[in-house]
Every structure is written in C-alpha cells, then in structure tokens.
Amino acid sequence: MTAAVSEISVKRQALRRFWPHRGACWPSVVLLAVALMVATPLVFLVLGSFSTADLPGRFSLTTLGLDNYRQVWLDPDTYEVFGDTLIYVGGAASFSIIIAGILAWLVERTNMPGRIWIYAGVPMTLAMPGMLLGIAWILLLSPRIGFVNSLIKQALGLTAAPFNVYTLQGMILVEGLRLVPTAFLMLVPLLRSMDPTLEEAASMSGAGPLSIMRRVTLRLMLPGILAVVIYQAMTALEVFEVPGILGLPSKTYVFSTRIYAALHSTMGTPAYGVANALAIIYVAISIAAIYFYSRTIGRSERYAVISGKGYRPRPVDLGRWRWIGLSFCMLYLLLSIIIPFLVLAYMSFLPFLQVPSVDAFRMMSWSNYAELWHTERVAAVMYNTLILVLATSTLTVVASFIISLAIVRSRFWGRRLLDQLSFLPHAFPGIVLGLAFLWVFLQLDKIGISIYGGVWAISIAFTVSFMAYGTRSMNAALLQIHKDLEEAAQISGAGSWRVMWRVSLPLMLPSMVGLWIWAMLQAARQAGTPLILYEGTENQVLSVFVWEMWDHGNSGVVAATGVIMITALLIVTLGLRALSFGRAAAFFLHTDHIATA
C-alpha cells in the first residue's frame, strides 16, 4: 500500500512539473501560438526555396526541386554579393562601434563640458529613418546632383565629382552613422557600471588617459564590446533601407537588395524561388551570428567588474582636450541628423534641385507641402500608417508580456523552448521575414483567408519580428518584480489574472510604455517588410510612399514628407528620452560634483 501511494505521489509530482496547476493550460497555448507564428513562415521559406513554380500561389509539393539552388550557387554574382555583404557589414559595424565607443567614453568617463546634452542628443538621431538619411546624403554627395560635389567642382574647376555616395564606401559611411546611437546606448551602461578602481590604479602608476583606455578599460569591456559588435553586425546585415537607396542605382548589391531585385525584376516575372534560396543563406548567417552572440553573453560573468563594494567613478581630466572631445561629439550630431535634416528642409521649399544660392532662397515656397496636402492618396497613406503603428505597437507589447509571463512566472515544462522560439525571429532580416510571410499569406488566400497585401499583413509580420526584442525587455522587467508582491496578493484571495492586472501590470507600465514607443518608431521607419507585403496604392504606408515618390523622381515632395516624418518621430523620441532624462541628469550632476571635489 505504501509503495502504491509513493508511486502515485511520484507520478503526481511529474505531472505537476508538466502541468503545474489547474488552469495552467495557457502556457501551452502560448507555446503553440508562438511556434505557429515562427515555424510556419520558416517552413514556407524553406519549401519556397525548392519550389519551381513561377508564382507562390501555384506552389505544390510536385513542383519541388533543386533548380533554385543550382541557379544561386552556380552564379558568380552570388559570391560577389557575399563578399560585398561581408565588407559592408564589417565596415558599418566597425565604424559605428568606434564612433559610439568614443562618444560613450567621453560622456561617461571624462569631464568634457556638456556631457548631459550629448547623452540626450545622440539617441535623438534615432528619429532619422535610414531611408531619409540615405536620401539626404544623396543630395549632398551624388556625383550628378550632390550639393557638395557641385560647389567643389565650381570652386576648383573640376570636371569630375570628387565624391560618390553610390558606392560600398558610401553605404558603409551612412549605415555606420545610423548604427551609432544603438551602439552608444549599449556601451554607456558598460562604462557606467564598471568599477573604476583598476583605472585609478593605472593612473596612479603614471599611465595617461589614452593608455588607460587602451590597456585597462577596453580589456575589461571586451565581452560587452564583442556582444555589441555582433549585434551591430546582425543589424547591418538585416537592414534594407540604406543599401536600397544607395546601392540599387549603381547595382551594388548586398544580400537584402539582391533579394529585393530578384522579386522586382524588369526582365520578366519575379524569381520567387531564387529569392527564397538567397534568403536561406541569409538566415543561416543570421542564426550563426545569434549563436555567437548568445555564447558571448553567456560567458560575460568571467569578466565581472562590479563588486559588492560601493564605488564612485572619478571622471578623467582631459585638460585642453575637453573642447576637442566636445567638437567631435558635435561633428557626429551634425553629420547624422542636423545637416541631413537641414538638407531635406531646404529641398522641401524648392521647386527643383539646385545648389544653395541667393537665387535658390528667393525661389522658396510652400508648393511641395501644398502638393503633398492635395495628393489624393496621402490621406489613405497616413491612415494606413496610423493603423500600422498603433496595431503593431499594441500587439507587440501584449504578445511580449504574455510570452514573458509564461517564461518567467510559470513552472511550465516548455519555458526554455518558448524563450528560444520567441528570440528566433531576430534571425530573420526584415525583407526575408516579409518574403516568408508572403508565401504564408498567399497560401491562406487559397482557403479563403484574404490578408495578403493589406496593412494587417504588414502588422503581423512586424509583430513577429519585434517579438524577439519585446520578450527580452519584458523578461528583464518581470525579473525585477519580486514574487513576494504577487504571493501576498494571492494569499489575500486574488486569482492569477487579478494579480497580473492589479500588481504586475502597474509595476511594469514604464517598461511597457518604452517598448510601445520603440515598436512604433520601428514600424514607422522600416521599409523592407512593407515593400514586400503591400499590394496596391490603397495599402501603402508612409515608408512605401516615400520610396515610391523618390523612385519616380519627386524629390521635393519626398523632402517635405521627410521633414514632417522626422519632426513627428523626433517628438516621440523626445518623449521616450524624457522618461529617463531626469535620472541621467542626477547621475551627471553627481559625477560633476565628484570631479570638482
């Protein structure tokens, strides 16, 4: 009898590990939903790479073959694209890390004047979408229409333009500038939380500021820097806007633009199968990058530099180099947002492209804004964009919160699997995810579910894409809330959902607001996924509208749209920065007091 009871108890404990308590079926539902959202596009992406059908709607198992892979791997252009992609990704990531590292060090570890304003100003560059940044640099450095090239040729009597932004080097420059704020925001916490005892010991031994940074600071930050490098490389690999604006006109392809070109061929029908075969290579590289990123993060404790002892960082005295450091920071802000915005604003008031002059300023008018206002489809574009950003932001927050709740707070057997599945979309670059969902939505059309081509198709793809970042943000927020608060509510008689509504949600509200604004900014800025999934002018969103107008040479209206778009995103970004600016101001006032003590 005792043996039987013991056996029943063991079985109950095993069952409880699999199914923790009554009503705990919701984590299984969440796992199933996430698996469907992530695995279904991946499966169709792989199947599509073997499909020899001319259109995704004609896909069937009888059309499978290896023709697409033969065409891709036997094409010499594929290896050229692979090499150009490596140069582009490596160059953009390295450039952004170097600039961001210098900016972060100047802000966090020196007595440079105006640090608090640089700390607030660098993330403001996130308000400049990559596509508009590329357009602004075309207006500056295009060999044919660039203002800078035209002025230099006139001044020096040159026949050829000295600069050409339609090159791999131009793409690296513009994308590197665009990536700096993300790297800056990742490097600042590393420098801020690092114990400066070793740096102070090196200083007492006679080492100079540059020697300390090179031989102490950088070595202590090595795992964090490696993680940032891999993350930046992954971001550069997946981006489409800058290579699309600068590379497509000169046929300088990277993987993202090569896939887009395969789907928008002017010589015949789109090569969907070839695009999928290219995308599989793209995904394999991204998955490898994620693997190395995870391993780097996992080993970071070997370089732990924060102890239980209290410490206060003492800023490095730069002496007369303080103003040179401030000039470097201002130069970055000029190149990344101030000059590009002024160029777009200048162009938005002109009837046609022309070099800045007295006559040009006399010709300025509001005609481009009036034309934009009276364009019939603008109302539909703005409405679609509003629906897209609101739906995507809300769905991202809700989905990420529910997934994180199952990962962090439940005793569900599949928590680790759910965590890995939710992060997997980060391996899908935007244009690849759009291609994968294109196959999914066209198959759904066969069974009467018509979603392809509309705003909701784009919103679903964005939500799945943003889920990787969203769950990481929500996981961190939930881990900061001690279980004692939830357990106290449960002891008082509150049910699980009431605890979540009355305890967890209010405490997580700042993190949710931050994630909501982040998702809104990303949905408004990105063009790769919408360009693949939209169908018809009635379903265009703002990023697609800007792309189409620029492609048709309507530069004045594009500039006017860009000014409005950047201003709106800047206001939103300012609101996001205001949530943390007070805390940052207190930190800098504290360290300034230490420096003068």
pLDDT digits (tens, 9 = 90+) for 264-276: 776 667 788 888 8
**Chain segment 554-596, per-residue pLDDT in tens:** 888 899 999 998 888 888 777 666 655 444 444 444 445 444 4
Domain with CATH 1.10.3720.10 in the chain: 20-65+378-540, 78-260+317-365+553-597
Distance CA 370, CA 524 (A): 23
Distance CA 198, CA 434 (A): 48
Distance CA 279, CA 45 (A): 8
Residue-level pLDDT at 487: 63
Q: Is 221 exposed, middle or buried (0-12, 13-18, 19+ CB in 10 A)?
A: buried
Q: Which of 188, 186, 568, 175 is nearest to 336 (CA)?
A: 175
Give the position of tokens 């972060």.
104
Which value, in Å, is the radius of gyration of the alpha carbons in the chain? 26
pTM as predicted: 0.81
Residue-level pLDDT at 485: 61
Lowest model confidence (mean pLDDT) among 273-282, 530-539, 580-589: 580-589
Confidence bin at 196 (pLDDT 50/70/90): low
The answer to whether 180 and 336 are in contact (CB under 8 A) is: yes
What percent of the chain has a predicted confidence (pLDDT) above 70? 78
Distances (CA, A) of 395 to 101, 249, 378, 472: 34, 36, 25, 15
Distance CA 108, CA 312 (A): 12
Kindly report the length of the chain. Answer: 597
Distance CA 203, CA 294 (A): 34
Confidence bin at 260 (pLDDT 50/70/90): confident
Residue-level pLDDT at 301: 46
Which tokens is 218 given?
A: 């950088």
20-65+378-540 is classed in which CATH architecture? Orthogonal Bundle (1.10)
The answer to whether 514 and 119 are in contact (CB under 8 A) is: no
Distance CA 516, CA 524 (A): 12
The answer to whether 134 and 146 are in contact (CB under 8 A) is: no
Distance CA 364, CA 446 (A): 53
pLDDT of 312 strictly over 90: no
DSSP letters spanning 92-107? HHHHHHHHHHHHHHHH
DSSP letters spanning 6-37? HHHHHHHHHHHHHS-STTTTHHHHHHHHHHHH
Distance CA 263, CA 69 (A): 16
Distance CA 529, CA 208 (A): 49
Residue-level pLDDT at 278: 85
Distance CA 421, CA 428 (A): 12
The answer to whether 353 and 347 are in contact (CB under 8 A) is: yes
Q: Is 570 exposed, middle or buried (0-12, 13-18, 19+ CB in 10 A)?
A: middle
Distances (CA, A) of 450 to 39, 127, 432, 457: 20, 34, 21, 10
Distance CA 31, CA 414 (A): 8
78-260+317-365+553-597 is classed in which CATH architecture? Orthogonal Bundle (1.10)
**Chain segment 215-235, per-residue pLDDT in tens:** 666 666 666 777 778 878 888
Angle of helix 455-479 relative to helix 430-446, nearest 10 degrees, comes to 120
